[in-house]
Structure 1
Amino acid sequence: MTTTNPIPDPATAAHVRVVLVAITKHGAAQVAALAQALPQASVCVAAKFAPLMGALQNPVQAYEGAFKDEIARLFAEFDQIVFFVSLGAVVRLIAPHLKSKDEDPGVLVVDDAAAFVIPVLSGHVGGANAWAEKIAALLQATPVLTTASDVGKTIPVDILGRELGWAVECPKINITRVSAHVVNGEPIALVQEAGSRRWWTRATPLPASIHVFERMSDVQRERFKACLWVTRAEVDAACWAQWHEALVLYRPPLGQEAEA
């Protein structure tokens, strides 16, 4: 059994370490403008462009030498890295440093015209999707989200209830298998026996393929491809055997009201 501890909402958590990165004069000017709206963010630019940062209150890191030598440090020191660098260049720069979606920081790319914000890495678990929407709003740009649950406006299985403090409890293979069923629009049972009911935060209605129940005993296994179960109850071996890799558990914190 693998248990994932609850992670704060990446777009609002005060402790999230964000850095805005540029390697060209034009990119540095864009970074300087965005940094004013993100006073908690650090800035990383080539030393020769540091004077363009003017009177910013943000911490400014000016590097000398090859930019590729900065990537390992950025990965170690920050949770979200926002590159004002071409997408292809970013992919090549970060490739040698990738570990897993549970460890890698969120990586975002803003195009040269600041018209699009693209989450490249760790969109869900790492929070890059949420930050792409936040930064796009500040820039009046378009966030380019490519993760299936965001495009399809359905449940992101791996982070459902994260902003409410829910912990995910199941083997990782279950998250992968159940996520596939969800994004493919197959019938899913969502059983909520505990926790806040304010887990659906999209502006669109809950997809018709998601069927909500108040008790696990009401769910007919043969009708559903998978089950998302929000509960504090102990789950016995028979239940795991019945659902096998089609069950994901969410554990809301004690005392959380099950408000409508």
Structure 2
Amino acid sequence: MPRQHLPFPNGRLAVVAITRHGIALAGRMLTALPGATLFAPEKFRATAEAAAPGACACFAGKTGDQIPTLFAAFDGIVAIVSLGAVVRLIAPHLKNKETDPGVVVVDEAGRWAIPVLSGHLGGANAIAAALQQAVGATPVLTTASDARATLAIDLLGREFGWTFEASHDEIVRASTAVVNDEPVALVQEAGSPDWWAGHANGRSGPLPANLQRFARLEDIDPARFGAVLWISHRALPPGWAARLAGKRVIYRPPQEAA
């Protein structure tokens, strides 16, 4: 697997541990991810400071009371806490996939890294991959595109600074078309051609057979495809908005990358 990088600075990652063994594991994580912060109960302050010198914050009271602060201050949260407990703790604070942080649960033995929330846009899948490299935890990926190592619509080109224009329904439709092996047109008129090898979640092997590549939007018949992915600096040509209604995702590489 290619080396994974978080989709945000290490300083935006919090590691929460509530037992002595968990804190020791968290210290190993922070060694591999300098800039991250360890959150631990006040009663384990000495253990936390020894595990993560200068990079720990200890809290009094209940772990659940820290969730609003963690959600507001960090883009990614690693919880060395039971999966069921984490689900109950974060449930009252969930808003939407565009703004919720990526949350990953790791067992105290460091065997498994389980993305629980915001696998793609929030970066939880990328965090899990980084933890595999940091402490050997095996990522448990349940998102269909990652389980099948196919294209993740909402990650295409992120490593190159691409943005995308699409509604939530269009992202869902395009993602469904990809994972269900429907014909998908991928039209690239701009940006780096290495987006598959540089995919944000790491990909190897050939491009999936249901993705058909084109050099110009005008070369396709939209009716033949379940979704159209258009990588370009251009505005939609006249009449094409209606032809692509509900099935298009437009990607915008930085102008200097053209």
State the TM-score, normalized to the length of structure 1: 0.91
- The answer as to 2:161 corresponding to 1:157 is no
1:196-235 equivalences under 5 Å are: 196-201=192-197, 202-235=203-236
Out of 37, 48, 51, the residue aligned to residue 42 of structure 1 is: 37
Residue equivalent to 1:115: 111
For residues 85-122 of structure 1, give each alpha carbon's deviation from its aligned partner in whole angstroms, at most 9, with x where no partner exists: 00000000000010111111110000122101011111
Contact 1:75-1:104 within 8 A present in 2 as well: yes
Q: CA–CA distance in 1 between the matches of 2:56 and 2:162?
A: 36
1:232 is paired with a residue whose SS is coil
Report the Cα offset of residue 71 of structure 1. Answer: 0.9
Q: CA–CA distance in 1 between the matches of 2:8 and 2:111?
A: 25
For residues 125-173 of structure 1, give each alpha carbon's deviation from its aligned partner in whole angstroms, at most 9, with x where no partner exists: 1111111100111111210111111111111111211111111012221
Count of equivalent residues: 249
Out of 135, 138, 149, the residue aligned to residue 139 of structure 1 is: 135
| Aligned-pair identity (%) | 47
Residue equivalent to 1:28: 23
Residue equivalent to 1:191: 187
Q: CA–CA distance in 1 between the matches of 2:5 and 2:167?
A: 23
Q: What's the C-alpha RMSD, in Å, of the aligned pairs?
A: 1.6
1:19 is paired with a residue whose SS is strand
State the TM-score, normalized to the length of structure 2: 0.91
1:69 is paired with a residue whose SS is helix
2:249 is paired with a residue whose SS is strand
Contact 2:12-2:36 within 8 A present in 1 as well: yes
Residue equivalent to 1:3: none
- Moved segments of 4+, more than 6 Å: none
Q: Unaligned stretches of 5+ in structure 1?
A: 1-8
1:244 is paired with a residue whose SS is coil
- The answer as to 2:122 corresponding to 1:126 is yes
Q: CA–CA distance in 2 between the matches of 1:78 and 1:14?
A: 10
Q: Which amino acid aligns with 2:75?
A: D
Residue equivalent to 1:17: 12
